[in-house]
A and B are shown apart, each in its own frame.
Chain A
Amino acid sequence: MIEAIRDAMDVMMARDGDVVVFGEDVGFFGGVFRATQGLQAKYGKTRCFDAPISELGIVGAAVGMAAYGLKPCIEIQFADYMYPAYDQIVSEAARLRYRSNGQFTCPMVIRMPAGGGIFGGQTHSQSPEALFTHVCGLKTVVPSNPVDAKGLLIAAIEDPDPVIFLEPKRIYNGPFDGHHDRPVVPWSKHELGEVPDGHYAVPLGKAAVRRTGADVTVLAYGTMVHVALAAAEETGVDAEVIDLRTLVPLDLDAITASVGKTGRCVIVHEATQTSGFGAELSALVQETCFYHLEAPVARVTGWDTPYPHAQEWDYFPGPARVGRALLETMEQ
C-alpha cells in the first residue's frame, strides 16, 4: 500500500507543479515508512523536502502555502504526533474558507500513518479520526487497500479543501485480519493490491461493499474491514461488510440501503469507544433506519484506555470480538 501512496503523490507531482510534499524525514530519507522514497531525487529539493520536528509549524506553513494556491501534501510521521499541530488544523486549515467568505481556501492534504497492531504502544498506535470528523471544514479519509489508497489520495490532493488522510499502518504491507499469530499475507496476493498505473481518482464520499450479505450490516474502515471480513467467514454469519473509505463526507445512502435490507448493524473501529466515530454512525443508523432495525446497533471498538505496550492483542478488536458481536446481534 505504501507504493500506491507514493505513486499517487508521484502522479500528482508530475501533473501539477503546485503540489509540494514535505515533512519530517520526508526528503533525503524518503520517509520512515518510505512513502516518499525517490520523490526528492525525481522532483528536486524545492518540491519534496525535509522539515524540522515542528508539527505546528509544518501544518501552519502548509496552510499559508495553500492559501496562496499551492497544494501541499504533507506527512505527519505518526498520527500520534499530530496534537502539537491540532490548533493549526482546527483553527486555520478547517476555517479559512468560512472566515474569508470563500476568498481563501485550503487545498491541502495531511497524511498520517495511524492505528495499532504494530507494538507501538501509547504514542505510536492511536486512531484519532474522531478528532477530525468532529471539526467541520475538514474531510477525513481512511483507505483499506492499495487501489483505494492511490485513488483516494489523488482525489484528496485534487480536492479544494483540507483533507486528513489516515493510513492504517498495519496494512501497509498486507491485508491484516487481526490474526497476529499467522504469517502476513502480502498485497501481491490480493486483488485490491493490483494498482492501476497513472491517474485515477476514487471519489470522496463513496463507500464500497466488500462482502454482500443478508443478515447484518458491518460498518468498518481501514484495517477493521479485513478483520470484519474474517469474522464473517469464521462465524458463518451472512454479514454485509461496508468499507466506508471516507468518514466525512459520509456515504449515508450506502449505509441506509444496507441496514434497510439486513435490519441489523455492527460498527467496528480500533479507536476508543466513548465519543468515537462509531457513536456518530450509531446515531445516524438509529435516525435513518429505526423502523427497519431488529436489534440494537452494536459497537466493537478499542477499550477506553490508552493503547498498552503489553497485552496488545487483548486491546486490539480482533476477529474473535467482532465475531462475538455478530453472533450476539443475530440472536436478538
Chain B
Amino acid sequence: MAIAKKASPIPSASPATNGQGAAPPELGKAVELAAYRQMLLIRRFEEKAGQMYGMGLIGGFCHLYIGQEAVVVGMQMTLKEGDQIITGYRDHGHMLSCGMDPKGVMAELTGRRGGYSKGKGGSMHMFSVEKGFFGGHGIVGAQVSLGTGLAFANHYRGNDNVSLTYFGDGAANQGQVYESFNMAALWKLPVVYLIENNRYAMGTSVNRASAQTDFSKRGLSFNIPGDQVDGMDVRAVKAAGDKAVEWCRSGKGPYILEMMTYRYRGHSMSDPAKYRTREEVEKVRTERDPIEQVRARVIANKWASEDELKKVDAEVRAIVNEAAEFSTNDPEPDVSELYTDIVR
C-alpha cells in the first residue's frame, strides 16, 4: 500500500504564454510604467513588513507576497468599478493593488486602531467595501465558496460585475472548491477562479499533495475552461485576465486561470523554508523576477531612464515609510473595542 508517490521534479512554469502558446501582447509605455510602480509598491511594502516583524512591531501570522506581484497587478488592470476581489491570508498585495491605503494595511499588521479592522483582524483579515475587497480569510479554501456567492449576487442583481476569487495550489485541494465549481458552472456565475500556483503549500510541494498538478484542468469535469499562465510576466497575466473576465462578463459562466508563480520568502515569517534549495529560489529571482522583467523592457524601449526609475523607487519608499511610521505610532484599539462588531 504505497501511498506516497515517487517525488517527481517540481514542475517549472510554462514559458511566457497567455494560455494559447503565443507571446503575450505588448502593453506599451504607460501601462508598463504603471505596473512597475504598483509591483514595486507591493515589494517594498512587504520588505518593510518583514523588517518590522523582525523588530517585533508586528506579531502573529504574516504571509508575504514577494515574488508574486505580477499576478495581482496584471489582474487588477482587467477589472472595472464594481468587480469584487476576494482571497486568502496572503493578501497584502491584493489590497494594495486594488487601491487600499498602505497606512491602513500596515496599521492592521501592527494591531492598531487605524488598521482596516481596527487592529482586531491582523494580517489575514481586512476588508474594504469601497474598493470591492471582500477579504482576507485565514481559513484555507473558505474564500472560494464566498467568491462564488459574490458572483451569484451579481447574477441575481443582473449587473455585469465579476468576482475575482483567488486561492493557492494548496487550497485547490479543499472539497468546497469543487462544490463551488459545480454550482458556478450549473448557475453560470461570473467568477474567475484564480489559482496562484507558487509550487508550495506551506512545507509541502505541489507534487506531494496533488494528483492532478495542472490546476487549469481542475474544472474540466464541470466544463469550466482553464488556462495556465506565466504569472511572472505581467503582460501574460493581463492578456489571460482580459479573456477570462470578458468570458464571465458576457454571461458564459466561470473561468479558471492558473497563475504559475513563486514566493521568494517562507510561507510565513516563522518559516525558514528548509524544504527547498537556495538555488531554486535564486534561479527564479535572477531569471524570472516580475519586476525586473518590466524594468528591463522599460529600459530597452527607453520608456524611462535609470534615474527616472530611481525616482519611482524613492516615491514608493516614501509611501511605505509613511505607512510604517503611522502604524508604529497609532495607538492600539481601546479594550472596549473587543466587544464591537460581533452581532448587532
Contact = CB atoms under 8 A, between A and B. Distances in A.
A binds B: yes
A24 interface: yes
Interface string A211-249: 000000000000000000000000000000000000000
A123 B120 CA distance: 12
Given A81-B140, A305-B338, A29 B2 contact: no
A28 B204 contact: yes
B174 A29 contact: no
Contacts of A84: 139, 141, 174-176
Contacts of B90: none
A315 B175 CA distance: 34
Contacts of B342: 304-306
A174 interface: no
Nearest to B267: A32
Given A52-B170, A52-B173, A84-B174, A45 B120 contact: no
B275 A53 contact: no
B60 A52 contact: no
Contacts of A50: 4, 204, 208-209
A51 B209 contact: yes
Nearest to B119: A310
Interface string B318-344: 000000000000001101011100100
A119 interface: yes
Interface in A290-319: 303-306, 308-311, 314-315
A123 B333 CA distance: 19
B59 A119 contact: yes
B203 interface: yes
Majority DSSP secondary structure for residues of A touching B: loop
Interface string B198-220: 00011110001110000000000
Nearest to B332: A310
Nearest to B210: A52
B63 interface: no
Contacts of A123: 124-125, 138-139
A314 B275 contact: no
A162 interface: no
Q: Main SS of the interface on chain B?
A: loop
A63 to B, nearest CB: 15
B1 interface: yes
A49 B175 CA distance: 20
B55 interface: no
B121 A121 contact: yes
A311 B335 contact: yes
A122 B138 contact: yes
Contacts of B201: 24-25, 53
A308 B340 CA distance: 11
A80 interface: yes
A66 to B, nearest CB: 15
A264 interface: no
Interface residues of B, number: 43
Q: Which of A28, A32, A310 gathers the greatest number of chain B CB atoms within 10 Å?
A: A310
A29 B266 CA distance: 13
B173 A124 contact: no
A46 interface: yes
A305 B339 CA distance: 6
A80 B61 CA distance: 14
A25 B3 contact: no
Interface string A59-85: 000000000000000000000110110
B209 A52 contact: yes
Interface string B297-325: 00000000000000000000000000000
Contacts of A83: 139
Nearest to A31: B203
A122 B111 CA distance: 13
A120 interface: yes
Contacts of A186: none
B122 A46 contact: no
Contacts of A315: 338
B203 A32 contact: yes
B263 interface: no
Interface string B126-158: 000000000000111100000000000000000
B112 interface: yes
B171 interface: yes
Contact of A309 (B120, B174, B209): B120
Contacts of B124: 121, 123
Contact of A24 (B117, B202, B338): B202
A277 B261 CA distance: 45
A124 B62 CA distance: 12
Interface in B183-211: 201-204, 208-210
Contact of B171 (A53, A120, A306): A53
Interface string A7-27: 000000000000000001101
A24 B122 contact: no
A51 B211 CA distance: 11
A57 interface: yes
A27 B173 CA distance: 17
Contacts of B121: 121-122, 309
Contacts of A305: 338-339, 342
B332 A311 contact: yes
A106 B122 CA distance: 39
Contacts of A25: 201-204
Interface of A: 24-25, 27-29, 32, 45-46, 49-54, 56-57, 80-81, 83-84, 118-124, 303-306, 308-311, 314-315
Nearest first, the 4 closest Cβ-Cβ pairs linking A and B are A29-B203, A309-B122, A123-B138, A45-B4
8 contacts: A29-B204, A46-B2, A118-B60, A119-B59, A123-B125, A123-B138, A124-B61, A314-B338
